[in-house]
Amino acid sequence: MKLDMALLHAVVAVAKAGGFREAARVTGSNPSRLSDAVRRAEQQLGVRLFNRTTRTVALTEVGRMLMERLLPAMNEMESALDDINRYRDTPAGTLRLNVPISAARLVLPALVPGFLARYPDIRLDVVAESNVQDVFRDGCDAGIRYEERLEQDVIAIPIGPREQRFALAASPDYLARHGSPEHPKDLIHHRCIQGRFASGIVPEWEFEKAGESVNVQPGGQLLVSIGGAVDLGVETAIAGGGIIYLFEQWLQPTFDSGRLVPVLPEWWLTFSGPWLYYPDRRLIPAPLQAFIDFVREKQTAVSPVLQSVMQQD
């Protein structure tokens, strides 16, 4: 029995993603096109591969059996194509990264333009989100995360600055009207601009000085989603609407211009920088390998001290 390979790819994409909408997002297609492709595959095979409701799309028993046989073969085919790709003078293909919005703003701008210029045949697809998820399940080749959010059993290499700080800032006007806090605990008496993760969690503000750690859950009029709405929080702070707690690097331009000034800098928390991570050393797609090599090169150029760390991966 013969079946169009494009239809097989559609079936595999929907099975991996667990739905037409997510599969369309991963593949750059659209749900109706994928639904039509699956329907035609089922017609040609003469069996139903998915049970569909208005809310879920799940493999049938025969669909699961097909995937158990088909996925290893499809993976082997992709691996063979990647092996051929390595013999090209210039790697080609799509590299899909899942990164926090902070990395899209603070880490990738120093890397992406140079990477794309060096590898004109690679298409970079960056998914920037504030919520932590299984990036491999969602069709990404690699992700960027901080140490406490790294998944188990992954390979990780340093990317971006190796030390960062959370800074506290306010406008000169706000501090003139409300005074400057002398200790992190004083923040409970101030208007603070808080952030909220997609999970609904509003994190505490963490501070550290001379071995003393202080966690504060401040209050205020404005609560913004971490990631997409952070710039609104920054602009509100600039306008005198309260004190903001954010990456120092994110706030540095406002410090340089004087629109915001540092608050309690001796208490700012230092933490380790982000990591690029991916699932396995074997069968790394050529676009991902090119990006890994590029990141290693840039990290070593910025900080030769990292050479010994990176050589271990």
- Sketch out the chain's domains with CATH numbers: 5-85 (1.10.10.10), 93-158+275-311 (3.40.190.10), 163-272 (3.40.190.290)
User: What are the residues whose beta carbons fall under 8 Å from the beta carbon of 102, sequence distance 6 or more?
Assistant: 227, 247, 250
Helices (H), 49-109: 61-85, 101-106
| C-beta of residue 11 within 8 angstroms of C-beta of residue 59 | no
Section 158-163 average pLDDT: 90
Beta strand 261-262 with 163-170 is antiparallel
- Over 50: is that where the pLDDT of 34 sits? yes
What is the per-residue pLDDT across 170-201, written as a single tens digit (0 to 9) for each? 999 999 999 999 999 999 999 999 999 888 88
Give the pLDDT confidence score for residue 304 in this predicted structure. 47
pLDDT category of residue 149 using cuts at 50, 70 and 90:
low
pLDDT category of residue 310 using cuts at 50, 70 and 90:
very low
> What mean pLDDT value characterizes the chain?
86
Pick 139 or 303 by higher pLDDT. Answer: 139
Give the pLDDT confidence score for residue 130 in this predicted structure. 67
Section 80-108 average pLDDT: 81
The pair of three-digit structure tokens given for residue 290, joined into one six-digit string: 């090119």
Give the pLDDT confidence score for residue 134 in this predicted structure. 58
pTM above 0.85, yes or no: no
